[in-house]
Structure 1
Amino acid sequence: MPVRVRFAPSPTGFLHVGGVRTALYNWVVARQAGGAFVLRIEDTDEARNREEWVTGIDEAMRWVGLDWDERHRQSERADRHAAAAERLAAAGRTYWCDCAREEVDARARERGGPPGYDGHCRDLGKGPGGDAALRFRTPDEGTTTVVDVVRGEPAFPNAGIEDFVVVRSNGKVMFVLANVVDDIEMGITHVIRAEEHLPTTPKYLLLWEALGGGAPPVFAHLPVIVNEKRQKLSKRRDPVALELYRDEGYLPEVMLNYLALIGWSPPDGRERFTLAEMVAEFRLEDVGKSPGFFDVAKLRAFNGDAIRALPVEEFTARCQPWLTGPLAPWPPEAYDEQVFAAMAPLVQERVAVLSEVPAMVDFLLLSDVRVDEDDWARAAKPEAVAPLLDRVLEAWAEVPWEHVADEREPLKDSLFAIGDELGLNRKRAQAPVRAAVTGRSVGPPLFESLVVLGRERTLDRLRAARARL
């Protein structure tokens, strides 16, 4: 039987990094077996769904390179879900119940047992209409066992599974039934999803059997992802939207590499690998049970290493959204390709995410540079800086305008010589010059940057800084 997997996000918000990991594991299993990866948008929650979130899911999947073989929207299959509910009713597997939630809760308190529905309407022969919902008649005896590649074989006593609703009083089919119907009819062979779905899996299996689904799919419930406080990642509290990392300048291949490691690692224990290598080496059986820490600092380090490993031409191409595209902090005409080409190797060594690139080169591309007041205050002590800038302006008006590291360094040599004469160490001599010229206290190598900026623009900025003292 051909392997068929599905990734089934709900468009009720941005795509969560945990969802991306689920999609990745599903995608890899499909590609290993030459099977099908199905993207199924589970958009039946009309109150919370937004079309922009559907678009966002598609764009996010394309960005990380997880292509799909089929794409479906669950809302387009409502007739199939309703037909399944009718079959269950015809077979006597369901019944109508008009109990209000308050009544259910009150009876639970009276009997002193666990909360949940008690089967009150099971044998009353009620019909549809009014506030009646359709409930599935769960077995009173026996157990339902989930055979799970990651979790083993957890068993759930059927007596503890309440008669759950499959069709609401408004006629809408519940998610659990729609999910099972779609998996059966789409021939899904593996259900690889988050650990949070494990408690509802017995209901899934009972419906699967009642609908004549045959052999159930292979299950793999993936470990929860937690933050630094070991709390489950939360959309409300944690930075978990994939689009945030995309717009900050993380590389898509790094996101996949890092997310793959939250629950799995190659047999040799290495941490860096390509998607093709993961397809060759991944096994569901090797996925762990323990919660995985989403370490943003480690992800950032991964990304910086990957950026530095890029050919400089590719680095430049990857930077374009922040240089000429929608994420650029300047108008398109401000960008100078030759200037960036001269700076790219220097900038590439110093950024961890691509969104940091503009701040490394803005002083070269913009005519007016705003000097950060805090950086200037730290760098510019008037009693020392005024004579330094006076001497530098005089010397740099004539010095050869070049800097070849460890060979010809006239700009550097002249600045440090002046600093020595004024009793300033190298750091204190460079700081006011850097702040005056670039607007910041940190950035790419100073002297190489000055060569690209040019003599006149450098001296103009130094004069402006001198005038501020």
Structure 2
Amino acid sequence: MSDTPVVTRFAPSPTGYLHIGGARTALFNWLFARANGGQFLLRIEDTDRARSTPEATAAILKGLEWLGLDWDGEPISQFARKDRHAEIARDMLAAGRAYKCFSTTEEIAAWREANPRAPFKSPWRDATDLPDAPYAIRLKAPQTGETVIEDQVQGAVRVANDQLDDMILLRSDGTPTYMLAVVVDDHDMGVTHVIRGDDHLTNTARQIQIYDAMGWDRPVFAHIPLIHGEDGKKLSKRHGAVGLHEFAALGYPPAAMRNYLARLGWSHGDDELFDDQQARDWFGLDGIGRAPARLDFKKLEHVSSFHIGRMEDAALLQALADYLAETGSEPLTQRQEDRLVPALPALKEKAKTLPQLLEQARFALIERPVDVDEKAGKALDTVSRGMLKSLTAAVQNASWSRDELEQAAKIVAEENGVGLGKLAGPLRAALAGRTATPSVFDMMTALGREESLARLQDQLDSAG
């Protein structure tokens, strides 16, 4: 299969939100396809009609789009292909690779109760005198020997054939089973590599039997370890965010999520921080480990900080717009964006998440007059206002560079016999209305001469 163009697929069931584990599976498939110049296909496994919803499908597509994973062609509906699945089951029946089973649900349940540790053995496997009654089509699976999964992550996984039953391919009502549908779809879509969670390993042994019965080439299998919480237990709601949409709402940019998810179970030497091009250049199945990966929010924040710090202004503004939309917040106005852009170089070096950046950027987003909170207001006494007045006069004709502003402030502080910190407090209050802000000189350069002086004058005027 080495000369065959690579085709991978992501095949979620539209029964809920896109789980973080599913997002990582999609990312691995996307990376492997892109790294090998292949195709990444999307199949919606919507055969469970009772639980599948259009809303869940839309949420999955939205999640993949947010994460930046583009798929090739149109998404494929598994349910829409049910006639093709049934056709293959009947072909197998006609070729003697499957048989009609007339066992009722009650008979199967009674057999399993009497044989709790053994796979169901249908009495109809080799029967020749068949009744005129509803029947299911079962695979005539091998009963001796073993089925071997040559897995790219797990190694050779061996399953004794006498531990597997003759699985149902087509139910008595004519509907195909999931096991059959997956194999037929992967074959028809030309999937060369099946990369999925290792909870599918048992399914794979059974699906291989269908490939072999049809004489179809098996795809390359790679079963990746699941994601656990920080406590080492299977990831669940008790660990906090588990849906991709929740991470978007927490303000982690897509580039950071791609980097972080890639490192959950896959590694390239000691590299922790990398961009998309590096991920595509480096990604391979041999870098996937067997041990479960652990979700670590501190590492995620570190990765997020790295990516926010190196994002171009336009990309960062788009990420902020997407974050505000995701959380149902008001979008930034053009005036706010115009003020925010000059502040970004100073802000993005320290922010770990997008809401942290917005909080630090508050000074650039508010309008005059600045509302000063009680804590910050304590710095605005008579002496401090006098220093602000002196500073206002000193910087009227300054070039408005950071260094010149800082030098002017130092001179004013020295003239008043205090350190620069004593002047920074009232400056913060006047410019931002709070005590926790970026550097006062970063704020002044970002706001510009006119706005900064107007805010200082507002505080001087408010003193009466």
- Could you tell me the TM-score, scaled by structure 1's length? 0.81
Corresponding residue number in structure 2 for 1:400: 395
- Contact 1:64 1:253 (8 Å CA) reproduced: yes
- Contact 2:119 2:163 (8 Å CA) reproduced: no
Residue 398 of structure 1, CA deviation: 4.4
One-letter code aligned to 2:208 = L
Corresponding residue number in structure 2 for 1:41: 44
**What is the distance in 2 between the residues matched to 1:210 and 1:369?**
77
**What is the distance in 1 between the residues matched to 2:422 and 2:339?**
28
Against the structure 1 CA distance between its residues 196 and 238, is the aligned structure 2 distance closer, same or farther, given a 3 Å change threshold? Answer: farther
Corresponding residue number in structure 1 for 2:367: 367
Corresponding residue number in structure 2 for 1:305: 306
Residue 151 of structure 1, CA deviation: 1.0
SS of the residue 1:408 aligns to:
helix
**What is the distance in 1 between the residues matched to 2:362 and 2:328?**
10
One-letter code aligned to 1:252 = P
1:144-187 deviations in Å (ceiling 9; x for gaps): 11111111111111111133333344432111100011122222
Deviates more, 1:351-360 or 1:171-180: 351-360
**What is the distance in 2 between the residues matched to 1:105 and 1:388?**
88
User: Which of 235, 249, 252 pairs up with 1:233?
Assistant: 235
**What is the distance in 2 between the residues matched to 1:187 and 1:31?**
16
Corresponding residue number in structure 2 for 1:341: 341
Residue 48 of structure 1, CA deviation: 1.9
Matched residues, percent identical?
33
User: Which of 74, 77, 83 pairs up with 2:78?
Assistant: 74
SS of the residue 1:263 aligns to:
coil
Matches within 5 A, 1:246-261: 246-261=248-263
One-letter code aligned to 1:294 = L
One-letter code aligned to 2:442 = E
**What is the distance in 1 between the residues matched to 2:437 and 2:34?**
43
1:278-301 deviations in Å (ceiling 9; x for gaps): 333333233211111222221221
User: Which of 58, 62, 80 pairs up with 1:55?
Assistant: 58
Cα root mean square deviation, aligned: 3.7
- Contact 2:413 2:422 (8 Å CA) reproduced: no
User: Which of 13, 19, 23 pairs up with 2:16?
Assistant: 13
SS of the residue 1:154 aligns to:
strand
Residue 105 of structure 1, CA deviation: 5.2
Corresponding residue number in structure 1 for 2:162: 159
**What is the distance in 2 between the residues matched to 1:438 and 1:98?**
76
Corresponding residue number in structure 2 for 1:351: 351
Deviates more, 1:329-338 or 1:203-212: 329-338
**What is the distance in 2 between the residues matched to 1:426 and 1:115?**
80
SS of the residue 1:13 aligns to:
coil
SS of the residue 2:151 aligns to:
coil
SS of the residue 2:169 aligns to:
strand
One-letter code aligned to 2:405 = R
- Contact 2:377 2:433 (8 Å CA) reproduced: no
Matches within 5 A, 1:256-335: 256-266=258-268, 268-312=269-313, 314-316=315-317, 318-321=319-322, 329-330=329-330, 333=333, 335=335
Corresponding residue number in structure 2 for 1:140: 143
**What is the distance in 2 between the residues matched to 1:7 and 1:122?**
35
**What is the distance in 1 between the residues matched to 2:309 and 2:7?**
38
Matches within 5 A, 1:98-247: 98-100=103-105, 104=108, 107-111=111-115, 113-114=116-117, 117-119=120-122, 122=125, 125=130, 128-129=133-134, 133-213=136-216, 215-234=217-236, 238-247=240-249
One-letter code aligned to 1:29 = F
1:68-87 deviations in Å (ceiling 9; x for gaps): 33332212211101111222
Residue 351 of structure 1, CA deviation: 1.5
- Contact 1:104 1:116 (8 Å CA) reproduced: no
Residue 246 of structure 1, CA deviation: 3.6
- Contact 1:97 1:122 (8 Å CA) reproduced: no
1:284-338 deviations in Å (ceiling 9; x for gaps): 2332111112222212211211222234455445444468x77684465473343
- Contact 2:97 2:139 (8 Å CA) reproduced: no
Matched, 1:443 2:445: no
- Mark the runs of 5 or more structure 2 residues left unpaired by the alignment: none
Corresponding residue number in structure 1 for 2:87: 83
